[in-house]
Amino acid sequence: MTIQMHTVYHKKIETKLAYSKKEGDLSKPMIVFCGGFRSDMQGTKALFLEAYAIQNGYGYIRFDYSGHGQSGGEFEEGTISSWTQDAKAIIRDLTDERDFILVGSSMGGWISLLCAKEFGSRVKGLIGVAAAPDFTKDMINEHFSEEMKNTLEQKGRVELPNEYSDEPYIITKALIDDGHQQSILGAPIDIECPVVLIQSKLDSSVPWEKALKIQERLTSEKVDVILLKDGDHSLSRPQDLKRLEQSIDYLLSEV
């Protein structure tokens, strides 16, 4: 697959974002995939959605946030704001003013919700796969010991174990502080498009109750929550991808 680069600016510093775009049928909405924290556009869900889009004639965009995958920039300099800025730039500059649906995985679910508020009526649907809005606040309140909080304040960063890689997660104070500013679950989320939230009850990273909290906060009258008894945080098994496909079919049938 051809990977292209798109220029964005963070604090006037030029950064190249890697992306892949399929034009599809110009009369149909596009599908835009927003990946998770430390993930990239070569993941199972991203590639599955591309195959789905090609098979069904939909335009499709997958991309890497700055500091992720093949994009430029340093991961440790990223924040929810900067990665949301990346997503908004990709949508603004590459969708050619077409309508679209958003599919956001984990952190990408948070970013998708922020983008949906920005682009309003052009967003024809949103799917959150283990969506994790406000996860930075949860991390501090529920998982950080006093020692970790002190380290964060003194050194500006903390290293956490990563179950998906030998490399630890680097959590910066900038990420935590910015996440507080971008938190959205403390007030109504003004989004009117249909929304589907897919969540596993066995998710060890995002508690299943979070999906119900998102549903409660959304102003949309069409919010479906699919709670799975099995599965994990990634929800990338064949049966999970089938549910994702069915959810996209449902949203696009509503357009």
Between the alpha carbon of residue 74 and those of residues 42, 88, 157, the distances in Å are 19, 19, 14
82 is catalytic: no
Is residue 106 part of the annotated active site? The answer reads yes
| H-only helix segments in 62-161 | 80-94, 107-119, 135-138, 146-155
Q: Which residues contact 222 (CB under 8 A, 6 or more apart)?
A: 193, 194, 195, 254
- From the list 71, 105, 233, 234, the catalytic residue is 233
**What token pair was written down for 35?**
């990946």
Catalytic site includes residue 203 = yes
Q: What is the dihedral of CA 171, 102, 65, 145, to 10 degrees?
A: 0
Residues 151 and 60: their CA atoms lie apart, in Å, by 42
| CA 133/CA 214 separation, integer angstroms | 8
Of residues 138, 203, 234, 247, which has the active-site annotation? 203
β-partners of residue 4 are 19
Q: Choosing from 39, 66, 82, 106, which is the catalytic residue?
A: 106
Q: How far apart are CA 29 and CA 227, in angstroms?
A: 27
Q: Which residues are marked as active site?
A: 106, 203, 233
